[in-house]
Amino acid sequence: MTDRTLRPPAPTSADVARRAGVSRATVSYALNDNTTARVSEATRARVRAAAEELGYVPNFAARTLRAGSNRTVLLPTPDIPVGPLFSRFLIELQRGLVRRGYAVVQYGAGDRAPGGVEQARAWAELRPAAVFGANGLSDEAVRVLRGAGVRALVAVASAPVPGLHTLVLDHSRVGAAAVAHLAQRGCRRIGVVVPAEPELAVFAGPRLRGAREAAAAGGAHAEPVDLAYTEESAAELAGRWRELGLDGVFAYNDEYAMLLQRALQDAGLEVPADVAVIGADDLLLGRLLRPRLSTVRIELPGGAPLSEAIDRLVRGPGEEPEVVGEVAVEVEWRESTGRG
């Protein structure tokens, strides 16, 4: 039984060359508008036509192998659903990078341990020019990636990571801003929602820490309260709110805040009179609540400056780790913490 594949193999530059009656070199020159070797207009047209007719597409692997490098930026796909804020940020970043001639590849980890060598190896195989979002890497993982020639390793982290470039996004400042605001509005016993969903722990931890520090500084007390993203959990928490004796709450983000505020109201508590509520992310939906939800706005850098920074890091020989951007947070004061 002949194992002849039904599908013909993809056309190569040799096929194009044959069809156009030129050499493979000429095909390469013609299609890449190479300036060093000047190809006549006539030949170029013949080559273009042949390529078109055959549906020729250059083989990325071969090109990469030959060139030795790769205008590819790797964005490790987060393994938790991302909110609209971050989703928009990624799209913008992607646009910026593509504009600068990079291919942007979001690479899924599957079940591999985040930050581990396994994952680093999977990334390193692709020999990307940069990895954006190289968070929580072990030293070994960094070594592997560096060894594979990755030019720029950019982490998104709360503080500059030694040896890496960093986009500073300090979640503790989100918690701090929220709780400072509550303390300033007169709250003394402040709940801090810690989502029960384990995949959110990486954000929830720092937010809680920041909240605690701000509470201490503002002469208030911060009390962690667990909350799962379900109506039942919210109702249960609201049910024992009076015995908790909390007069304010930072609810992790706007979605948890909306959930909790509704539950608190259903339990007969007045917002903000009995308990002030603040979220984070500045979702439009938070403004629809009554009272309108106060929130901590997180201002991610735009795609343009960030992609410019990445491009610079990739080209530049500079080895010094640098901070490629800083994320600002600001409180948006609305009715749920007593405005108006």
What's the closest the beta carbon of residue 217 comes to a second copy, in angstroms?
A: 33
* Candidates 26-34, 96-104, 223-231, 291-299; binding stretch for DNA (CB under 7 A): 26-34
* 2 lies in the binding site for DNA (CB under 7 A): no
Query: What's the CA gap between 154 and 306, in Å, rounded?
Result: 11
Nearest to 200 by CA among 288, 77, 79: 79
Pair 251, 193: CB distance under 8 Å: yes
- Are 40 and 84 contacting, i.e. CB atoms less than 8 angstroms apart? no
Nearer to DNA, 44 or 173 (CB): 44
| Cis peptide preceding 291, ω within 30 of 0 | yes
Count residues binding DNA (CB under 7 A). Answer: 34
Q: Which of residues 45-64 bind DNA (CB under 7 A)?
A: 56, 58-59, 62-63
Q: Are strands 294-299 and 328-332 parallel, antiparallel or unpaired?
A: antiparallel
Helix axes 201-217, 171-184, angle to 10 degrees: 40
The runs of H, that is alpha helices, within 3-102 are 13-20, 24-31, 41-54, 60-67, 84-99
Query: Could you tell me the smallest distance in angstroms from the CB atom of residue 33 to DNA?
Result: 11
Query: What letter represents residue 10's amino acid?
Result: A
Q: Would you count residue 31 as binding DNA (CB under 7 A)?
A: yes
Q: How far apart are the C-alpha atoms of 38 and 27, rounded to whole Å?
A: 12
Q: How far is the CB of 51 from DNA (least distance, A)?
A: 10
Cβ proximity to DNA: between 2 and 36 the closer is: 36
Can you tell me which of 16, 97, 154, 179 binds a second copy, judged by CB under 8 A? 97
The answer to whether 59 and 10 are in contact (CB under 8 A) is: yes
Q: Cβ of residue 10: shortest distance to DNA, in angstroms?
A: 6
Determine if 7 is a binding residue for a second copy (CB under 8 A): yes
At a CB cut-off of 8 Å and minimum separation 6, what does 177 contact? 210, 214, 296, 329, 330, 331
Q: Of these, 48, 121, 185, 188, which contacts a second copy (CB under 8 A)?
A: 121
For a second copy, which residue of 24, 31, 64, 170 counts as binding (CB under 8 A)?
A: 64
Residues making contact with a second copy (CB under 8 A) = 6-7, 9-11, 54-55, 57-65, 68, 70, 77, 79-84, 87-88, 91, 94-95, 97-99, 103-112, 121-122, 124-127, 143-144, 146-149, 229-231, 255, 258-259, 262, 284-285, 287-288, 317, 319
The residues of the shown chain that bind DNA, judged by CB under 7 A, are 9-10, 12-14, 21-29, 31-32, 34, 36-40, 42-44, 56, 58-59, 62-63, 65-68
